[in-house]
Amino acid sequence: MDFTGSADHHNQPSLEGRIERHKDFTLVAIRGEIDRDTAGYLDALLGDAEADATAAVVVDLEHVGFLGAAGVRVLATRHDELSRHGQALNLVNYQPHVEAVLRICGLRSPAV
């Protein structure tokens, strides 16, 4: 999987992302850790995806090693924004430890 764009943390890229536009959805694939230092990059990436989405934004979290409170806040805020426009935010392919965070925060369902 070829990722483009990144957020630097201590001169090391700790979050990378790429956007793929499809007919019925926009895919956002993320690799790295989502914490307070990288949440702004995630928010910008989702904002770009949201601008062009026709029905849904699908966030692939398969390569996310950590999801902190700042990342949860970004996902919840973007979910609310998309819902207001009749669109959906779908989280897919999350690791068990990321799933636990999503479940505790009430964001685990496929359509958040």
* Within a domain: 85: yes
Number of separate domains in the chain = 1
* Within a domain: 109: no
pLDDT value at residue 106:
86
- The identity of residue 71, as a single letter, is G
* Within a domain: 48: yes
* Within a domain: 14: yes
Which residues in 1-112 belong to E strands, given as ranges? 4-9, 12-21, 25-34, 56-67, 88-92
Rounded Cα gap, residues 15 and 49, in angstroms: 16
* Within a domain: 110: no
Q: What is the pTM of this model?
A: 0.84
Asked whether the beta carbons of 112 and 75 are under 8 A apart, the reply is yes
Asked whether the beta carbons of 45 and 28 are under 8 A apart, the reply is yes
* Within a domain: 41: yes
* Within a domain: 57: yes
The CATH number of whichever domain residue 93 belongs to comes to 3.30.750.24
Question: What domain range includes position 91?
Answer: 4-104
pLDDT digits (tens, 9 = 90+) for 5-59: 555 545 544 899 999 999 889 999 999 999 999 999 999 999 999 887 778 999 9
* Within a domain: 66: yes
pLDDT digits (tens, 9 = 90+) for 29-44: 999 999 999 999 999 9
